[in-house]
Structure 1
Amino acid sequence: MEIDRAIKECDDKRLKTKYNNAIYVIQRALALYSVEEVALSFNGGKDSTVLLHLLRAGYYLHMAGKNQSFGNHGDGETTLPIRTIYFESPTVFPEINSFTYETASIFRLQMDIVRSDFKSGLEALLKAKPIRAFFLGVRIGDPTAVGQEQFSPSSPGWPPFMRVNPILDWSYRDVWEFLLTCKVSYCSLYDQGYTSIGSIHNTVPNALLSLSKSTSSEDKFKPAYMLSDGRLERAGRAKSFISQPSSAAVKGFKNEDYFMKSMFTASVIAVGEEILFGTVEDPMRSILSRKLHSIGWAVSHVAVIRNDIDSVADEVERQKSMTDMVFIYGGFGPLPSDVTAAGVAKAFGVRMMAKLPEGITELLHHENLSLPLIKCQNVIILNATNVKELEQEWDCLIELMRSCGYLQMTGPFVSKRLATMLSDVEIAEPLSEICMEFPDLVIGGYRESRSGPVVVTFKGKDKARSSAAIAALRKKFHHGAFSEID
């Protein structure tokens, strides 16, 4: 078998050890479960590509041990008769899609394609065709790797199956040593400087591989395997801000939709019946939104929910996959802290252990905080119950997350406002045209009173773009129709 032969002939002792351990895990799984009872998760990324070829080698060796004539006609090296599941998303890179389907054709993979969200899609798929074990390309350092071992049962709340992780202890270097040593094909994006590929909205080439000193759309990058420090492979998970989109890019997008898709976004969730009943005011939501805007993040969703586990779980489950980060804090008065934490645990399908979500919790300690902040993957649980505490927690959070690289800091938003005594009807259509012409800005309006002026707001990252949009709007009306507030 060409994979096994390539590894045995190489001089890399570390790679041989990693390979042998991974093959042992695969063969152990194939001894425990029949081929009909296992499945492979394949998404076209580098880790799942390694997993695919390890599984090919492991299956070949497993079958050859049972039948000496297996593979004599070449089928054993090209065919992998293990069910393969591909979760296809509309935000996936076309190169990933193409590579996935080409690979499936070459190795005659039995592909099941899921186009819904991961959990519900998996539930529907396994209900129709149950499996007992799932081969995954999870590695230590991945957000989903916390608490997992090479054989780990699925989390509570998920369909029951065994997660098999043959490359759990592999590093970034190990992955590329394997791919290059075995001379197998991988997605072309990795030759363009991408080191960790997510969606088209949150992935750019890794700046550490740039061949030029300044970054631009014309920048050239070294291939992914030349990244010297594998711990920085996710440094490319950053969003590119498009300051001057072409008219072709504008077509078919609403102004705010296009704006939100071009940068980091956050959700803010407040927990407490007191807010819902109007018993107390909650200034923390607006302050937290302003704090996020100050580091260049757009707030795409703000919610107030009831103080119970199911309400927290439902809202967190919706928002954690729609935004880059979710910030949640619990109301006022005697709010049991474990209600919010338990809701977050339920949203991720994990158990509570010592009043914290098991396997996904990271405690963020700071000398200026009496209690640590809680980070569960992309959800931050704040302890603050008032503005003063929020200010302190935010400063500590920024310091901690900047040092760990969790929170990407970008340029702050620039806001400009105009006032006019023109009616809503008069300015509606011209303002819509400006929105289409400047999709990189969020343009809106409001009245502070029924008889007062209309205030038109322009928010974006580029002050010059806001000024250009204001000038374009003024040209559509008589001189003096708009006055600038700030």
Structure 2
Amino acid sequence: MLKCPIQTIYFESPCAFPEINSFTYETAAAYGLQLEIMRSDFKSGLESLLKEKPIKAIFLGTRIGDPNAVGQEQFSPSSTGWPPFMRVNPILDWSYRDVWAFILTCKVKYCSLYDQGYTSIGSIYDTVPNALLSSADSSSMKENFKPAYMLSDGRLERAGRAKKISSKCESTHVLSNGMINTGAHRSSSLTASIIAVGDEILFGTAENQIGATLCKKLYAIGWQVTHIAVVQNDVDSVAEEVELRKSRDDMVFLFGGLGPLHSDVSVAGVAKAFGVHLAPDEEFEESLRHLIGDHCTGDHNEMALLPEGITELLHHETLPVPLIKCRNVIILAATNVSELEMQWECLLELPSVPLVRMAPFISKHLSTTLSDGLFGNILAGSGGSSGEESADGGEREVAREERRRGSKVQSQQYLKNNKKNHLSSSSSYLVGFGPHNRTFYLSRPLHSLSSSSCSLPAHPTRSCRDVARQAL
């Protein structure tokens, strides 16, 4: 029994495993710990506790692979906006193997759940035994699990942590090989979102040229970009945006904030969004070593810390270092458009990247020098039999105007020749008018048209009404 009891804080939760609660109380009693039980959230609990008691420092079990460990050292002041205290991280540099080596060597008691295959324990709603420790019993047909200390790859410590998905996503999306599959009724268009990390873009000192170029690249292969965001160099900002987009789009592209500086937080943000730790990756570290030589400092190389259990390195012979793919999130290392061009070509050639080439989108437009009023009459009568009289009047008015002004309306022979093949009654178009050149635009995916030539010679003899009706 300790002569001077160590004050210990325990945040009790109704979502905790009963075994965790029991072990905590038993350990506190066995070692004579002064246990403070808090039933509020972490921040509020600390605020009330520090008001009552003059606590200057708190020992934590944070390890370097934890999402919230970015930028922390053995002694780190609390974050801005939190009650002031010194965070003491005595096992910051310990790996999963280090923790278990200490526990087993010193014969430290631990929670019984770790003998049942649990390797990282959260709440009862998001934690299951680690499947990598499964050992099926053929005689009883019951699935058994090895103890946690038998996990060979510490990077997969959180493989048993399953992040809950909202009911909307749960009913529509199933994650398969990094792609979101919504079944046979999914729209034929694949979607992507783009996230740029950089205070310099938000400050206006740099332009988001990479984002614009990436939009064009995706558009060219038939993908629809549904969202573009620029976030500040902050782990929580990156995590929040990735968390939002990864369940809504087929792919998420992230660039910026990747490198050796403390402000480079992209990888840590992705790890936090997926609820996993950062862990050293020997393969990636070796690639960095080949690139920067002796400047790579081994275990202390923070650039080699990657989200554990979900990271796939994308190798290509033209890439100096592999790109990083975390399920359906691809982290690009491009710092300019030329680098993006190279990395994009590599992505298209890699079989493990689900960048399915869809038929590209096309946009067509018809132009005339006629007034908007004339076009209004034409379009008003183009929707059905009830507007035939109006349409006929519009046609006569257009014909008179064309004869008077001698104008020649450019039309698209392609639409005339291919109407029956490519335009059905269920087809939908986006139609818009230009304010000066009397232009209306039609846009739809190319895969809804035929693969025949898109050479569109002008047809000067078609009336404006016919062209508009044919297009619509």
Do the structures match in fold with TM over 0.5?
no
* TM-score, normalised with respect to structure 1: 0.41
* TM-score, normalised with respect to structure 2: 0.42
